[in-house]
Amino acid sequence: MGVPWWAALVAGCPLPAWLDCGQAAGHAAAALRAGLSGVIVSATAPQHHALASLARMTGGHVLHQRPHALELPPEGARDALERYLRAPRMP
């Protein structure tokens, strides 16, 4: 749906809200420029380096892939989600 949609969706959300950009480094850059705090992008090494530099300038963060912590198990999802939400966050 794009950066503006995601920014509006997570506005005011106190939880980490990472935008998964797939292989679209341009979307990741637009998200960082729009003030989003975190993007996930499977980019080439030069693109990732440029995005990491942009993230440092904007106060954002870039990940190569989705953290496994965000994937809920088929059983016990409620308990897993509660543990995840109560855990200290990085970055």
Tens of pLDDT, residues 30-61:
999 999 999 999 999 999 999 999 999 999 99
pLDDT confidence of residue 4: 93
HEC readout, the chain: CCHHHHHHHHCCCCCCCCEECCCCHHHHHHHHHCCCCEEECCCCHHHHHHHHHHHHHHCCEEECCCCHHHCCCCCCHHHHHHHHHHCCCCC
pLDDT confidence of residue 88: 78
In a domain, 27, yes or no: yes
Mean residue pLDDT across the chain: 89
In a domain, 7, yes or no: no
Res 68 pLDDT > 80: no
Percent of the chain with pLDDT over 90: 60
In a domain, 4, yes or no: no
pTM of the model: 0.72
On whether the CB atoms of residues 45 and 79 are closer than 8 A, the answer is: no
Q: How many domains would you assign to the chain?
A: 1
| Structural domain for 80, as ranges | 17-86
In a domain, 10, yes or no: no
In a domain, 71, yes or no: yes
In a domain, 40, yes or no: yes
In a domain, 51, yes or no: yes
